[in-house]
Structure 1
Amino acid sequence: MAHRMKRLPPLPALHTFWVTAHCCNFTRAAEHLHITQGAVSRQIAGLERHLGYPLFLRQARGLSLTEQGRAWQHCAQQVFGLIGDAVEHIGRRQQTLQLKASTCVMRWLLPRLMQWQRERPDVPVELTTTVANTVDFLREPFDAAVIYAPIAAQPAEVRHLFDERLTPVCAPALLATLRTPADLQHQVLLHPTRDERDWTLWLKAADVRLSMLSQGHHFETLDLAMTVASQGSGVAIGDCALIGEDVKAGRLAMPFERRVPTGMGYYLVSAPGTQPLPELEALMNWLQSQAHSSDQGWGSGT
């Protein structure tokens, strides 16, 4: 047996009642709603005819709610509260956060974004990778970015993730051949950049001189150098935080304790001068906590 849908009161009139019940004054309600006092009075009268009972007592000293009016005030408060929550949250949940990051940080960032999406499917993130280490929020449509920059005092909207600390890395099968840094003389060095600056910095800190430094293989990205290193084709060098997931998974190993700071760091930034949306704030706080916990896990050995 089909049920007849009850004829609901008109929503605009119910909204007018809700505002008027709060003010208990037609004039103030009209000012708030930006309509005339007469329009407020007509909408209330029409709503009362629809319901079949009065909502207000009209007295010389002003308006007061009837018993039914007080009940409807409570119901209207709930209805428009739910509508307000829907306006605030439904569209926002569907908005995808736009995040930019350089390719070198992908080995650290991508597994964590996958974990974030499992934990917070209501806050989707779209990641754009680039070889650039900076972001221009005036010209680029991103909500936040992971940048690589010198370690220094940063503005409030910049969140520190971790400092870059270099260490050699190789396939686990090569560990037995690397008892001291001098053993690197017998290995192929893999450079994550077109120059030798990373290896030069680390070897200087370790007080080791290699005659074949420039004879290794050079790569355009850290990811390529790490992939070749994991195959046992040489020893690469990279930031211990960025290669941490590979070490945990057993794809790579760090043969030496020494970690050499470069004076550079990774930072999470949002558009300056604006308050991030709550969802973006939650993502940034979560990534920062992930970075700090992994950074502490690898220590700061030298």
Structure 2
Amino acid sequence: MKRLPPLPALHTFLITAQCCNFTRAAEQLHITQGAVSRQIAGLESHLGYALFIRQARGLALTAEGREWLPRVQQVFALVGEAVEQIGEKRETLQLKAPTCVMRWLLPRLMQWQKERPDVPVELTTTVRHGVDFHREQFDAAVVYGAPPDASLAAQRLFDEQLTPVCSAPYLEGPVPLRTPQDLQQHMLLHPTRDEHDWKAWLAHADVQLSNVSKGQHFETLDLAMSMASQGTGVAIGDWALIGDDLSAGRLVTPFDLKVKTGAAYYLVLPQIPEPSPKLQDLLKWLVAQAAIR
């Protein structure tokens, strides 16, 4: 296979072919006329045939030059398209977050897009609570659990605080729900299979119930909250995540007790010298939103 001609020479050929004049091509390329002439001559030498016919009043393409022109135009059009498309993709911030934080995060990202349409965010949700930036191509992530290790730059958003929740009509229903012991008469909704959240809250409330394992179990916190808002039963929710539901009246908290589990939600990103200004803006905005829950 014959060695390909150098890309700068092909670009010079493209501009010169469009102008059919060394002087105007040199002006567009911001180089001297002599440099244009030498690049064209070198390209012709490389190919083994002439591309231009030198005339007294300018240049004309040879038959070979006319065949080359549309092909070179196509090549540079593809390069320009790639630069634009890949650049746009890189400008979209890639964010990962667990499904349990969606009730808080998604409305805020929608508000962010209204306020900052120049900084689009693509959100990937997962049932996993961590992130591996070595294997996953994300700019930042929300993680849940213990404090992240030193390999990540982390900012605490808020602590997990468990408390029972239900709909307002359910709370006012015929079956009393005035004390934690009254939960014995209600359907308990579990956001996980392990029942850990309900057991932790009941332990702090110093209440023992026989119906804990008889409740309904869901795969995600969001599903449990949705069922509670529909009056199905009493769910154990994270007070830090349901502020919007409480404000809108979709959920109410029948008891004042909130139990901190020691887990928290963190905004993390790789330990890099300097995040992009747009990423810094998003991170600061989310931290500020968490502070005004």
Q: TM-score range by the shorter chain?
A: 0.5 to 0.7
The 2-side partners of 1:266 and 1:228 are apart by 23
Moved more, 244-253 or 169-178: 169-178
TM-score (norm 2): 0.68
Query: Structure 1 157/94 Cα, relative in aligned 2: closer, same or farther at 3 Å?
Result: closer
TM-score (norm 1): 0.66
Report how far residue 157 of structure 1 moved: 1.5
Give secondary structure in 1 for the equivalent of 2:292: helix
Report how far residue 175 of structure 1 moved: 2.3
Match of 1:10 in 2: 27
Match of 1:77 in 2: none
Give secondary structure in 1 for the equivalent of 2:206: coil
Aligned length: 214
Match of 2:233 in 1: 234
Counterpart of 2:225, as a letter, is M
Out of 128, 146, 150, the residue aligned to residue 150 of structure 1 is 146
The 2-side partners of 1:13 and 1:174 are apart by 75
1:106 matches 2:105:
no
Query: Structure 1 246/277 Cα, relative in aligned 2: closer, same or farther at 3 Å?
Result: same
Q: Can you list the C-alpha shifts for 1:127-172, whole angstroms capped at 9, x where unaligned?
A: 0011111111111111011001214786672111001010000011
The 1-side partners of 2:275 and 2:104 are apart by 23
Unmatched runs of 5 consecutive residues or more in structure 2 = 1-23, 33-86
Give secondary structure in 2 for the equivalent of 1:289: helix
Counterpart of 1:133, as a letter, is H
Unmatched runs of 5 consecutive residues or more in structure 1 = 1-6, 17-90, 295-302
Report how far residue 13 of structure 1 moved: 4.6
Counterpart of 1:280, as a letter, is L
Structure 1 residue runs of 4+, over 2 Å off? 7-14, 91-94, 151-156, 174-177
The 1-side partners of 2:217 and 2:162 are apart by 17
Counterpart of 1:182, as a letter, is Q
The 1-side partners of 2:125 and 2:247 are apart by 24
Query: Structure 1 233/151 Cα, relative in aligned 2: closer, same or farther at 3 Å?
Result: same
1:133 matches 2:150:
no
The 2-side partners of 1:137 and 1:151 are apart by 16
1:174 matches 2:170:
yes
Identity %: 61
Given that 2:166 and 2:235 are in contact with CA atoms closer than 8 Å, whether structure 1 keeps it comes out as yes
Report how far residue 273 of structure 1 moved: 3.0
Q: Can you list the C-alpha shifts for 1:233-289, whole angstroms capped at 9, x where unaligned?
A: 110001101111111111111111110001100001112234211000100010011
Q: Can you list the C-alpha shifts for 1:50-75, whole angstroms capped at 9, x where unaligned?
A: xxxxxxxxxxxxxxxxxxxxxxxxxx
CA RMSD, aligned part only?
2.3
1:88-127 to structure 2, matched below 5 A, reads: 95-127=91-123
Given that 1:193 and 1:221 are in contact with CA atoms closer than 8 Å, whether structure 2 keeps it comes out as yes
1:278-297 to structure 2, matched below 5 A, reads: 278-294=277-293
Given that 2:164 and 2:235 are in contact with CA atoms closer than 8 Å, whether structure 1 keeps it comes out as yes
Report how far residue 9 of structure 1 moved: 9.6
Give secondary structure in 2 for the equivalent of 1:252: coil
Match of 2:209 in 1: 210
Match of 1:54 in 2: none
The 2-side partners of 1:223 and 1:212 are apart by 22
Counterpart of 1:124, as a letter, is P
The 1-side partners of 2:144 and 2:90 are apart by 30
